[in-house]
Structures are given as C-alpha cells and as structure tokens.
Structure 1
Amino acid sequence: MNEILDAVPVLNRTEAEQALDQLAQRYRAAGGAGVKIVNLVGTQAENLLDRLPDSVRTGLGTATEQALTLAVEAAGKSRNVIADQPAWLNTAMSSVLGAAGGFSGLPGTMVELPATVTLLMRSVQGVAAEHGFDPDAESVKFDCVRVFADGGPLSHDDGSDLGFISVRVSLSGVAMKKLIATVAPKLAVVLGQKLAAQTVPVLGAMSGAAVNYVYTDYYQQIAQVHFGLRRLAIDADISHDELVNGLRLRLGKS
C-alpha cells in the first residue's frame, strides 16, 4: 500500500529551509509543555513516580505495551467510523477522559489509561493524514508508534531527543512488535508520571484534565515534527538524514 495519499508538490531550497525553521520552532514549543505540568503539580518530575504504589509501577510497563498494541488497531478501525478531528477537539476529549480518571482516583486512572493511549494514537494518525500519509499503510502505522519514542513533556532533555525521527527499520509484523516493545518502557515512564500527577491531593479531576490536555498537545506537536520532516523530504527532494541534521543544528544539538 502506498503511504502517500495525495500528489507531491515541489519546494525550492529556500522554502525548504523556511519549513525546517518552522519545524524547529514547533519542536521547542512542544518541549515547553513539561513546565506546565511541573507547575501544576508543584513538585519535581522525577518524584512523581514515587507517588505510585509498587504494584502499579511494576506492572506499568506491561500495561503500556498492551495498551499501545491495542491502540494501533483500535485507532485505525475508528477512522472508518469517526472522521479525524481538529487538534483542539482531540485535546478537549482527552481532557474529559483525564477528568473522569482523576475524579475516580488511581483505580479510575488505570481504567482511563488505555482509552487515553488510543486517543493519543488516533491524534497522531490524524496528523499523519494531515501531511498526506495514509494511516492504514503499515509504514505509517510504524511511524505513528515511533512518535511515542520521544521522552514526553516531562523529559529532562527538554525535547532534544531526536531518536524518534531516525530512519525506519525493515517493516514486518515482527518489527512492529519489536518497536512497541522498545517504545513501551519509555512511554510507561511518561504515563506513570501522568498517573501520578493525576493523584495529587486536592486537584483531583482538574489535575487529570489538565495533565491529559498537555500530554495530548505535546504528542500532536511531536507528530507534526515527525511527519513534517517526512513530507518535507518528499516535497523538497532532500534526504531525510540531511533534514534531521538541519533540525539538530537549529536546536543546538550537533
């Protein structure tokens, strides 16, 4: 299946450089989301996981891997029923989910987690389609999962980890399972921080809504960078590696 949905326009070098500047600005903006969360919960990000019971922390990796596996298919099937939504509506829907989970405490947040991961995946697929890629293509599904390899809004590197935009490995069912198994532990830390933030005393449902809002906005922005680079490589006929290096230079990460 061809991953490109529409015709390929042509950009000149100057236009490509301007587009890359915009992607760098978007990447920086996404990295600032963690500050909102830290201010919200009033604690340091590295202490959030200590709020979770041992049983939750130990099982979070497996739960995340299962949620991510189900989300790839569930989000894809939902596209046949519900059209892609604007980014603001995705964040609003995610906020409602977070509020419901936060209102119910930790048990509620654990039930909410798979739904949130599916919504995040669906949002990322929508960004892929926005850039002209077919979310049903196996290569695009693979790329959608790779978006979650980024550190998340509470990452200490402030959005400087560009590993998620590296070149794809060969595609197969086995490769997808391996990718999910690789991404899941990192995403588990992100989701663990999210769950812990939602259990902050007093804030309750308000915390859950705000946390989900920030996380959904973050991954939508990261997806814009990811698929923006993929599309720019096609439109400007510039290698993806060259564009990644250009993005690194703009971010001061040589």
Structure 2
Amino acid sequence: MSDTKLPVVQHQSEIAALAKRYREADSLGMQVLSLIGGHAGNLLERLPDAAKDRLEEATRRALTAALHAAQRSRGVVPDQKHWLNTAVATAMGAAGGSGGLPSALAELPVTVTVLLRSIQGVAADHGFDPSTPEIARECLSVFAAAGPMDEDDDAEMGFLAARVAVTGSTIYSLIARIAPKLSIAMGQKLATQTVPVLGAVAGAATNYAYTSYYQQMAQVHFGLLALSRRTGIPREVLVAELKKEMAKARLTLN
C-alpha cells in the first residue's frame, strides 16, 4: 500500500514547493515599490505620454530582438548560473537608471534578452530543449506573467493556464499576444528607473527583482510541465492544484 501512495505524496510535495517559489517571486517587487515610495497602479503615470504611447511597440521589438539574440547566443555562450544572470541584469539596471528615461529605454532590449536566456536556462535545467519551436514558445509564454509589481494574484496566475495560446501559435503571433501584457511590466520597470536621485539604485533593484521574478516563474512553469510529462497528469489539473495550494497558503497567512 505504501508503494502506491508514494507517487501521490511526492507529487503533492512538488506542488507545495512550486507554490512556495511562486509566493517568493513577488516579494522583491514589493520591496522595490517600498524603496521608491510608489504603488504599482500609478507607476505608469510617471512616464511621459510619448513614452507610454510607444511602450507596447518598444516591448514587441525588444521581444523579437531578444528571441533572435538569445537563440543565436545559445550556440556560442553556454547557459550561465542563475545568480550570474541576476548579477548581469542588476548591473545593466543600474546603468540604465543612471541616465534617466533615454538610457533606460536603450537598456530595455538587452535586459529582455538576458531575461529570456535565463528562462531558457531554466527550461534546459528541467530537461527541455529551448531550440525547439515548442519549448521556444513555452519560454516566451513565461513573459505573460503579470510582473513582480502586479498586485493582482488572480490575474498573475492566468499565464500558467495559457496552454491554448502556446500550442499551435507561431512565434511572432505569440509575441504579438504577449507584448501588451509585458509592456505594462516593462513600463513599471522604466518608471522606477526614472525616479530622481534614486535612478541607478532603483534601476539596479528593479532589474534584480525582475530577473529573480521571471526565473522563479520559469521554475514554476517548467516544473509543472516536467511534472505533467513525468506523471501523465494534465497540466491543467496541476495548475488547478497549484491554485488550491496558493489559496490555502494565503488563508494560513491571514
């Protein structure tokens, strides 16, 4: 009897571990908001109208450039340790924030590339090949997460269930769907980097939070995908179990 129960116990413990990663992903973003004395809802209002108007297109271009750069670099530069990706992104955030909005906008595609390479590294850690079209789409879909400064847990959880949007989509149609969502997160990032005096510090802290967040979300995303393939349990069922675990944890904390 114990042999038949063991897989269930292991499966439940893996869901609990993924839920813990999910909860930890948001904490750094909240710390950045505390640093700059802002709220997620009004960050975008700090950007000039001209920047807000071009944000979605800039994000779409950044995603497209990041995809090409990340795929090309995989054959030349091996996946790095996750702490090193975080350190590189943090340094770029400081540089981007030091020059205000112009330098932050120039830094955006480079940061997205580092984030995507980091997500691809997580996929590889779980035994997936990021060079295949299917896993390339899965990597991009991690960017559909709400972002570390979003305060709506229900909206954030939606990216894990977006299987239909990934399966059968071309890379570029997927980018077109993800760009509006990611542009909000990137707009919040740009807004923190333009805070007077704190620009470089806020830029470094923001990039640290963003890299940590998307790496954690990738761990959840590919952890569920690997668990589904290993156990035969549909990913939709595992996502539902993760949501229950998250809800249970919130009740415990409250």
TM-score by length of 1: 0.91
- Report whether the alignment pairs 1:220 with 2:215: yes
Alignment partner of 1:17 out of 2, 12, 34 = 12
- Matched with 1:206 is 201
- Amino acid in the other structure paired with 2:37: G
**2: CA distance, partners of 1:158 / 1:39:** 19
- Matched with 1:48 is 43
| Runs ≥4 residues deviating over 3 A | 168-172
50-59 vs 151-160, greater mean Cα deviation: 151-160
Alignment partner of 1:154 out of 146, 149, 154 = 149
**2: CA distance, partners of 1:64 / 1:148:** 11
**2: CA distance, partners of 1:121 / 1:17:** 29
Shift of 1:203: 1.0
Q: Deviations over 1:183-233 (max 9, x none)?
A: 101110111110010111111211111110000000000000000000011
Check 1:160–1:115 CA distance in 2 against 1; reply closer, same or farther (3 A cut): same
Q: Deviations over 1:32-59 (max 9, x none)?
A: 2321121111111222111111111000
- Report whether the alignment pairs 1:74 with 2:66: no
**1: CA distance, partners of 2:190 / 2:153:** 20
What percentage of residue pairs aligned between the two structures are identical? 49
CA contact (8 A) 1:127 1:224 kept: yes
- Matched with 1:7 is none
- Report whether the alignment pairs 1:34 with 2:29: yes
Q: CA RMSD in A?
A: 1.6
- Matched with 1:5 is none
- Report whether the alignment pairs 1:132 with 2:154: no
- Matched with 1:6 is none
Segments of structure 1 that go 5 or more residues without pairing to the other structure are 1-10
Check 1:243–1:98 CA distance in 2 against 1; reply closer, same or farther (3 A cut): same
Aligned pair count reads: 242
- Matched with 1:90 is 85
Q: Deviations over 1:149-187 (max 9, x none)?
A: 110011121476222122244755x63222111110111
More helix by share: 2
After superposition, residues 101-112 of structure 1 pair within 5 angstroms as 101-112=96-107
- What secondary structure sits across from 1:114 in the alignment? helix
- Amino acid in the other structure paired with 1:182: R
CA contact (8 A) 1:128 1:223 kept: yes
CA contact (8 A) 2:165 2:174 kept: no
- Report whether the alignment pairs 1:177 with 2:181: no
- What secondary structure sits across from 1:151 in the alignment? coil
156-165 vs 25-34, greater mean Cα deviation: 156-165
- Amino acid in the other structure paired with 1:221: Q
- Matched with 2:59 is 64
Check 1:67–1:181 CA distance in 2 against 1; reply closer, same or farther (3 A cut): same
TM-score by length of 2: 0.91
